[in-house]
């Protein structure tokens, strides 16, 4: 059996697991993504809901709670 992919926010307040990705994924080189990530690009991947689960938290209090981190709800 394959190990799930694991990830988290930088402070560790939020953690998640995914059992695999959909074929749609890629890298974004737009100015906003480069600035936000401090890198030449940002990588994105799509996961089916039934293959994704939160393992810790759902929003990061360090970012100001639910409203400012709405994408993490």
Q: What is the pLDDT of residues 53-67, one digit of tens each?
A: 999 887 666 655 554
CB 35 within 8 A of CB 28: no
Q: What is the mean pLDDT of residues 7-26?
A: 87
The pair of structure tokens assigned to 18 is 């995914």
Distance CA 32, CA 35 (A): 5
Tell me the domain boundaries of the chain.
5-64
pTM for this prediction: 0.61
CB 16 within 8 A of CB 45: no
């Amino acid at each position: 059996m394959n190990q799930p992919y694991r990830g988290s926010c930088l402070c560790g307040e939020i953690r998640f697991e995914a059992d695999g990705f959909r074929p749609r994924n890629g890298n974004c080189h737009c100015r906003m993504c480069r600035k936000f990530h401090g890198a030449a690009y940002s990588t994105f991947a799509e996961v089916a809901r039934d293959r994704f689960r939160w393992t810790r938290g759902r929003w990061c209090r360090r970012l100001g709670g639910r409203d400012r981190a709405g994408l993490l709800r």
